[in-house]
Structures are given as structure tokens and as C-alpha cells.
Structure 1
Amino acid sequence: MTTHVLPDSLAEIRDEFLELPEADRLQLLLEFSNDLPAVPARYDEHPELRERVAECQSPVYIIIDVDDEGMVAMHATAPKEAPTTRGFASILVQGITGLTSDAVLAIPDDFPQSIGLTRAVSPLRIAGMTGMLRRAKRQVAAKRAA
């Protein structure tokens, strides 16, 4: 049985949101949306490696890399016109990249509900972030098993 432990990288992001008054959390999410790292150019020729996140209304795609040491890198694309969704993708990319596959698989499934935005954004958007996390964990598990 996997113990669900929030890695430090995601705990720091969560705490950053929770330290702010609720009214200011959307601004922080917008800052994250502006900081979504670009997907490495090596994927430009391989759209088949991008997985669409169906739970998101906007076209969001994720790619997970797991290297030989089991270290994870997450990449995501989300349109600039969807800053909330893009912010959630950025939180996960920044929080997951650099973790071990075990650490990613141990991220609590309710992490998106824990960052203090459930009243600031629609449940549909939180469900989109939950879908991104679920897909990331599934891809990590599949790549680790391969």
C-alpha cells in the first residue's frame, strides 16, 4: 500500500497559496500560468507522445518522462487564453518535475483540493487539475513498468 505523502515541492506551492488571503490566490495562480515552462522542442515532431486531458475544457496536453534513475519530468501545454487551467498545469509541472517516480505516485489524489482554490474557481476547473494529476501518475506508473 502506497503511503500518500505530499512531496516538499508541492507542499511549498500549497503553503504559498494557503498563506495568502483567499482573494489573492487567483493572482498567484495567474503568476503560475505565466511561468508554465515550454515543452522541449524534441516533442514538436512527436504529437503522439502528448496525452490530451479530457477533463479540461481547454486543450491541455501532458507528457511525462521517466529517466533511467526513475526521475520524473512533466511537460504540459495549455492555451494562454485559459489562465486558470494553464496555472494548474504549471503548478503540477513545477511541483512534479525532479521528483522520483515513487514520490509522484504517492502524491495524494486530492492535492488539487488542498491548495485553497475550491471557492475561487469552479469545481470543473479543479476536476481538470485532478485529471492532469491522475494522468501524470498513470503515465509514471506505465513508464516505470515498461
Structure 2
Amino acid sequence: MAQLKRTAKAVWHGTGKDGDGTLTTQSATLDNVPYSFLARFGDGKGTNPEELIAAAHAGCFSMQLAFMLAGNNTPAAEINTGAVLIMESDGPGWKIATVELSLQASVPGISAEKFAEIANNAKANCPVSKVLNAEVKLTAKLL
């Protein structure tokens, strides 16, 4: 069985609320990028884990959809996916409750019904959708 490994590193200093940290990825796209409580739960400078999960989910879904549309012999001219990750308090902490994917795509030669079928299949089979222990929602719009 084929296997891929991707790595990232988080360094944190201090307490949860008053501390801060940096994130670095294998590709160095993120290289000591700051993150903090304020970036996560407010409007502080830097990134946060949930923002990165939302970006990863939008990217993963878009790529999965592109593969599936090409496999249907209806390649997309453009796929534009937004992701809104919603966290909710679950008593002592927080949980990722929902990810709302919002899709707009230009796909010549495909019916609205077939587009919806393939988009929902991509949502279910995108690796990030599979790893999340959250409801994943999709709103798709064919342009």
C-alpha cells in the first residue's frame, strides 16, 4: 500500500491564554509563523489551527473534485471553494462542530444533477473530510 507522510511542527511558550507559538511545515510554506490565543479566539495577528484546517479542507476538496470531474470527462475550467470552520464549546473545551464548504465551479458540458452528484462524492471522499470528526456540509453552485 502506498503511503505519504507530511510533517509540521508547533512550538509553544507560556500558558494557553498568555503564551504564544510558531508553526512550521515540511515545505517551509509556514516557517515559524506565529499563532496565539488571540489569533485563535479573537482578532490577533498570526494564524490558528482551525484556520489552517479550513484552508486544508477547501484545498483538498477542490483537488478531489478536479480529479473526479476529469474522470467524468468534464474537466472544470475553475473550481473556487470556501470553507467556514465552526467551533463550539463542548463543556470543558471546544470542538470543531461543522465545516461549511461553499463551492462555485465552471464545468463545461455537465448537467446540474451530475455536478451535484460528483461534488457530494468529492466531499465524502476528500481525505480531510474523512479525517474530521465533524459534520461536513457542502453548498455547491455551478456557474
TM beyond 0.5:
no
Task: Name the structure, 1 or 2, with higher relative contact order (CA <8 Å, separation 6+).
Answer: 1
Larger proportion of helix: 1
More strand by share: 2
Q: Structure 1 length normalisation: TM-score?
A: 0.28
TM-score by length of 2: 0.29
